[in-house]
Each structure stands twice: as C-alpha cells, then as structure tokens.
A = this chain, B = another copy of it.
Amino acid sequence: MKPTDMDKEGTELTEETEHMIEKNGAKETENVVSAGDTKEMRAVILSGFGGLNKLRVTKKAMPEPQEGEVKIRVKACGLNFLDLMVRQGNIDNPPKTPLVPGFECSGIVEAMGENTKGFEIGDRVMAFVNYNAWAEVVCTPLDYVYNMPDDMTFPEAAAFSMNFVAAYMMLFEVANLREGMSVLVHSAGGGVGQAVAQLCATIPSVTVFGTASSFKHEAIKDSVTHLFDRNADYVQEVKKISPEGVDIVLDCLSGENTGKGLGLLRPLGTYILYGSSNMVTGETKSFFSLAKSWWQVEKVNPIKLYEENKVIAGFSLLNLLFKQGRCGQVKTVVEKLFSLYNQKKIKPVVDSLWALEEVKEAMQRIHDRGNIGKLILDVEKSPTPLMASDSTETSEAGEEEEEHEGDSDNKERMPFIQ
C-alpha cells in the first residue's frame, strides 16, 4: 500500500504513536508488536454493493483515535443479518463503498484520543461502531464503549452487544414484559432469538413461542416453551395453544408477517418489527421493489389499533445509537445486562468462529439460516487455505468448517451448507 492510499487517520499515526507511548508502556508495546506493521491493519472491505464476491480482506491504513474516541485492538466481531443487507445496499441511505462493514466488536483498549478519559490502556471492552468493525483495529466514540465483565470472553462480548441490547430494549422498554406474559419470536435459533429466550426466562411464568428451521429444534428446544417449524402456519399453531394470542410479537421478517403478527396479539399486546430479513432473498431483487410492495400491503390503520387495543412498534438499535443519539439509555441497558450476565442468568450463544478471510462463508451460513446463536469473526483466527480465494460465490467448502476451533458453546454446530 502506497502512502497516497492512506486515509486521514493514517497520516496522524506518528503523533498518535508518541501519544500512546507517553501514556502507556509495556502493555501497549506488546499490542503494537503483535500487530506487526503498525501502519497498516487487516480489514474486510466491501468494494461495492452486491453479492459475496464484493467482499475481500485487504490491508488498510490503521485508524487513530480522534478526540473523544477510543482505539481498540479488535479480538472478535459480531456478524448480523443486517450486514447482509448492508452488503446488498438494502438499507436506507446506504453509505459509499468501498467500506469496512461491521457494527460491533470486542477487544483491548490500545489508545485514547486527546483529552479523552474513561478507559485505561489494556481495558477489555465491548463496543458499537458505525461501520468499520471488521478490522484489526477500530476507533469509536467513548459513548459506544463498555468495560466487559471479567468472566466474559471476547467472542461472547461480540455476540452480546447488539443482540442482547436489542432484545432487552424491545422486551422491557418498548413492550414492558411482565410476569405471566407470552412472547412470539421468529428465528428463535438466531442471535436475537436466543437473547430473547434467555431474557424471557429472567421473568416468572413467561411463555415463549418460537419459530425456527426444524433441524435446529433439538438444539434449542429447551430455550423456548413452544417451538414451530419456520415453514409451518405459526398463527394456527399458536392459536391452538393460546386461542387469545400472545402479548408480544417480535418480528425480524417482513411483508405478510406484519399482518399475521398483529392478528396474533392479545389486547394491549405489542408487535415489534426489528428487522426485515425477508428482504435478503437473493442477489437480484432490489430493496426498493420489495420496500414498495411492503409499504402498499402492510400499512397499519390506527382505527384498527384503537378498536383492538394494539400496539405496533419499530426498533432499530443502530439508528437509536448512531442517528438518534440515545447512547445514555443504551449504556444503562448494557449495565443491567452485564449484571444479569454476572448473575449467570444470561449467556450469549456463539454459533461459530470465523477468520476475517472466511467472512463470505460466514455470511452464506446466516443467509441459509444455518446458525444457532451468533456468528463471530475471530480476528486472530487463521483462515483455512481454501478461504483465501475470493472467487467463490457459493462455497462448496462447508464441511471444512467442522474443523473450526470454537468455544464450548458451539458443540452443536450445524454443517456449513445445509
């Protein structure tokens, strides 16, 4: 990489290095050494919106923290369904490419911006990032960084941030979950689904209805009360068990499910749309054609809500954090969640660990709904030789993944390609 390729942050490296050395000695040096070339870092790059072939790992100028920012040596990153939508450009106001995807990570504080306090070099932290998480180093404002519990592993922390914060805020701040209520969650085997199930278990007598692909049922059956196949008519299945319906419907799908979900609500029940995974259906459909049909079919009539005593809500954690400035509220939620973690009431479920170079295979796994719990990019993991190639759109190399070294949570890991 030539100096002209370096971005703005890269040009400030020298000053920053001095700054780091001033503030910290041994600890920092170790990190710097382990990073190899301190001026560059590995990162996943999305070269343009589209299919998996738009992703590659490359060297990139290392960012340095601005005032108010924390520089983190990344250990693990979370991979979300949303990242697939970003890859396809299927989001509102997509940013310009090339970009480094990723919204959450865990790692070690390596430096702080000027006049910036609140963390010590060497702190183990969990962080939200507005893109740029899938790299060896990220810089993000203080408000998005949290000290991790001592017992939490880096993959757990990367699996924790978005899923548990979203699940908590939806259940307790939007929907006001209380004793005796019932919850329907789609994709119960996914990261949010597992977080929802665990958080529901912290409240007495909460009934959880979940939908998931049948092959996941054995693995997740203990986490929910009732489990249905994702292709089953879940409306009928729920009504067989609970004719009155449910108190809370969490919907990461879209389209016809909004009407179905609203129809399943008990009086005073809340339907929450928190994502739209139906939108990623292939490489050819555009966001706008899908969005338009949804808009037309599924708008909600307030008179019906009034007559039926129902609530409909939308929830986007990223918008809340990065567009709407609600960091303080999220921080309070993170503190409550860490307390639940320390009490061993919740524990992130990690599906599998992947090298940065394996990001395409990891994305394919989410796309195929193969995961149980969260997919993690493990920055220090070595890629398998096969994954070094950028050429495959659909990977036939799934069985290779059985060899991954994972943590104890992913013993049940499913074959890579279903």
A interface list, Cβ under 8 A from B:
92, 169, 173-174, 176, 258, 267-268, 270, 273-276, 291, 294-295, 298-316, 319-320, 324, 326, 329
Sample (24) of A-B pairs whose CB atoms are under 8 Å apart: A169-B268, A174-B268, A268-B320, A268-B326, A274-B306, A276-B303, A276-B306, A291-B303, A295-B303, A299-B301, A302-B314, A303-B314, A305-B314, A306-B314, A306-B315, A307-B319, A308-B314, A308-B319, A309-B315, A309-B319, A309-B320, A310-B313, A311-B311, A312-B312
B309 engages A314 (CB within 8 Å): yes
Supposing A311-B311, A312-B311, A314-B310 touch, asked if A305 and B273 sit within 8 A by C-beta, the answer is yes
Q: Find chain B residues with CB under 8 A from A304 CB.
A: 314
Supposing A92-B307, A311-B311, A315-B306 touch, asked if A267 and B301 sit within 8 A by C-beta, the answer is no
A316 engages B309 (CB within 8 Å): yes
Q: Find chain B residues with CB under 8 A from A324 CB.
A: 267, 309
One of B268, B273, B275 near A173 (C-beta < 8 A): B268
One of B176, B299, B303, B310 near A302 (C-beta < 8 A): B299
B303 engages A300 (CB within 8 Å): no
One of B173, B176, B300 near A300 (C-beta < 8 A): B300
By beta carbon, the residue of chain B nearest A324 is: B267
The answer for the CA separation of A312 and B319 in the assembled complex, in Å, is 18
Closest chain-B Cβ to A294's Cβ sits at a distance in Å of 7
B311 engages A316 (CB within 8 Å): no
Supposing A173-B176, A173-B268, A299-B299 touch, asked if A305 and B309 sit within 8 A by C-beta, the answer is no
Q: Find chain B residues with CB under 8 A from A319 CB.
A: 267, 307-309
- Which of A270, A298, A304, A309 has the most C-beta atoms of chain B within 10 angstroms of its own C-beta? A309
Q: Find chain B residues with CB under 8 A from A274 CB.
A: 306
The answer for the CA separation of A309 and B320 in the assembled complex, in Å, is 7
- Which of A258, A273, A299, A314 has the most C-beta atoms of chain B within 10 angstroms of its own C-beta? A314
By beta carbon, the residue of chain B nearest A296 is: B301
- Which of A295, A301, A302 has the most C-beta atoms of chain B within 10 angstroms of its own C-beta? A302
Closest chain-B Cβ to A314's Cβ sits at a distance in Å of 3
The answer for the CA separation of A302 and B308 in the assembled complex, in Å, is 18
The answer for the CA separation of A176 and B176 in the assembled complex, in Å, is 7
Closest chain-B Cβ to A327's Cβ sits at a distance in Å of 11
Supposing A174-B268, A300-B300 touch, asked if A313 and B320 sit within 8 A by C-beta, the answer is no
A273 engages B306 (CB within 8 Å): yes
The answer for the CA separation of A257 and B275 in the assembled complex, in Å, is 28
- Which of A176, A270, A303 has the most C-beta atoms of chain B within 10 angstroms of its own C-beta? A303
